[in-house]
Amino acid sequence: MRNNITFFFCCVITSLFCQKKAEPINDAYTLFKDKIVLYSDLGFSTSPYSIHFKSSNTTIDKLKYRNNLGVVMGFGGSYKWFAVRLAFALTRNLKPVSKFGETSYIDLGLDFPIKKMYFEFDFRNYKGYSIKNADIFNPNLGGDNTNEIRANANTLSIALNGWYFHNKDFKMQPMKGKVGHFNRQVITWYLKNTINVQGIGDVESIIPIELTDSLNSKTKSTTISAFDFGSIPGIGYANRYKNWQYAGMFGFGPVIQSKFYIENENTRGFLGLAPRYDLRLIAGYNVPKWFVMISTEFDNKSILFNDLKYRNYNYTVRLLAGIRLNKKEKSNEKKRKK
């Protein structure tokens, strides 16, 4: 994708492998699988990163890379076991292109539950970054323009995550709020099983050439990447007060990581451990006929070498509103009242 084109495409197909039989009655949550759910969302996703390094040619030891934010609008729907969401960029880039450059986005996703586990697949590729306050090493910058635009810098993340919830009353579908909601407090511990391919790249060296060090070949890398896997423990919490629902998940733990860097077409690899933590918060007003929710997701990724560290922070903020139509059967909520 060329840098002067902003494209954001998101497609989520949910519950492809769910059983089609009716959801059993449960006092902890209510699901509306027999209703047609239509919704729209508005928000943004971003993926800034930083690089810490050591170079004998400079006293600078950290660079901050920032992508240009764009506002994304999505439309989706679901019925029984099938769901789909499509999204497009409502605005190309919010920040001035002359200072922050243009960023193109590709986001693809798939999620589905299987018994007590919930799976998500994510593909993210962001291209076009700028280095903040680059005027301290680049004499061509200054005044109102202190950022160095790196049009070919890009981040890539491919992840398959599966959550195992110990408490059978804790489900991801009512937590997200589109096809259901919680009815009471539910707490659980969980394991997030994760497999990731991630990294960054550039046509030139990722670190500007004037800051590189011939004694530290990693500073001249054009690609830094890793494959990692592991199980991250965490806590999930959900509650409801009248028609207001709030829920969150937090996990932290290490993963096994096989990491690589490419310098002058030479690839070097290492094996080690890397920390992982993720945070998800969702809250809003949710009744059987309609809902308004706000959700935030935060996920960090890192690749650590001697004398060079890469840290990537992915977060999404989204406002979601929808309606539930065409009720064919009585919901679990009314069955419980009887």
Per-residue pLDDT of 70-83, as tens digits, reads 888 888 888 877 77
Q: Please state the φ and ψ torsions of residue 92, each to the nearest 5 degrees.
A: -65, -60
Q: Is the pLDDT of residue 11 over 60?
A: no
Section 86-112 average pLDDT: 84
Q: Judging by DSSP bridges, how do beta strands 29-31 and 36-46 pair with one another?
A: unpaired
What pLDDT score was predicted for residue 15?
Answer: 35
Mean pLDDT check: name the lowest of 2-11, 125-134, 179-188, 265-274.
2-11
What pLDDT score was predicted for residue 25?
Answer: 55
Q: Is the pTM of this model over 0.85?
A: no
Q: What is the pLDDT of residues 192-214, one digit of tens each?
A: 999 999 999 999 999 999 999 98
CA 322 to chain centre: 22
Of 122 and 331, the structure prediction assigns the larger pLDDT to 122
What pLDDT score was predicted for residue 19?
Answer: 35
Per the structure block, which two tokens stand in for 236? 């999930």
pLDDT band at 110 (very low <50, low <70, confident <90, very high): confident
Query: Which uninterrupted H or E stretch holds 72?
Result: strand 72-79
Opening angle at CA 300, ends 146 and 117, nearest 5 = 150
Cα–Cα distance for residue pair 279/258, rounded to 1 Å: 24
- Identity (one letter) of the amino acid at 203? V
Of 258 and 19, the structure prediction assigns the larger pLDDT to 258
Q: Is the pLDDT of residue 299 over 80?
A: yes
Cα–Cα distance for residue pair 37/52, rounded to 1 Å: 46
pLDDT cut 70: percent of the chain above it = 89
Q: What is the mean pLDDT of the chain?
A: 86
Beta bridge partner(s), residue 295:
282, 318
pLDDT band at 327 (very low <50, low <70, confident <90, very high): low
What pLDDT score was predicted for residue 278?
Answer: 85
Q: What is the pLDDT of residues 202-255, one digit of tens each?
A: 999 999 999 999 889 999 999 999 999 999 999 999 999 999 999 999 999 999
CA 212 to chain centre: 31
Q: What is the pLDDT of residues 149-202, one digit of tens each?
A: 999 999 999 999 999 999 999 999 999 999 999 999 999 999 999 999 999 999
CB-CB contact of 7 with 106 (8 Å)? yes
CA distance between the termini of the chain = 57
